[in-house]
Structure 1
Amino acid sequence: VNAPEDILERIVATKSREVDVLRKHLSELRTGVEDTPPPRNFSGCLRDSNSVAVIAEIKRCSPGAGPIRPDLDPLRLARSYE
């Protein structure tokens, strides 16, 4: 039978390792946020446009119809519309 102290030591050691991993992830997230460009003004782009403004959805498949374009690269297609 393990003594309560042994169990607590294992719990503390495990949690300490988990906290170290989470701190590393937090540091990476902060770096990522600092390197991210500011968001675009979505509503301003729609309101201030001198031409037709379109909101579109890009989908590889439809829940009802199944695959539409399974090989679609959504990011590339969206950038081609800008």
Structure 2
Amino acid sequence: MEVPEAEMPYLAGYEETGFLNNLHVTIDDIEFLADNCTKIYVWHTRTQKSKAASREILDNKYDGTNLRHLQAAMAVQ
């Protein structure tokens, strides 16, 4: 299936539905085959705001690698 124009719209609680609608998928297109047809697996997205990631590499396992040099050279734009 190729639907290059498919997007995942942001509408809290309806991301998955909107995505499947954009793929033009109907219930007749879906085959439920998980665990010998005994389960239906689903996915959910998170619609809450997340914290910004830290730019600091605190783990000392990266000492002695080029990550410290790259970290020092980073610029916030």
TM tier, shorter chain? under 0.3
Which one has the bigger helix percentage? 1
Q: TM-score under structure 2 normalisation? A: 0.19
Q: Counting strand residues as a fraction of each chain, which structure ranks higher?
A: 1
- Quick check: which has more Rg, 1 or 2? 1
Name the structure, 1 or 2, with higher relative contact order (CA <8 Å, separation 6+).
2
TM-score normalised per structure 1 = 0.19
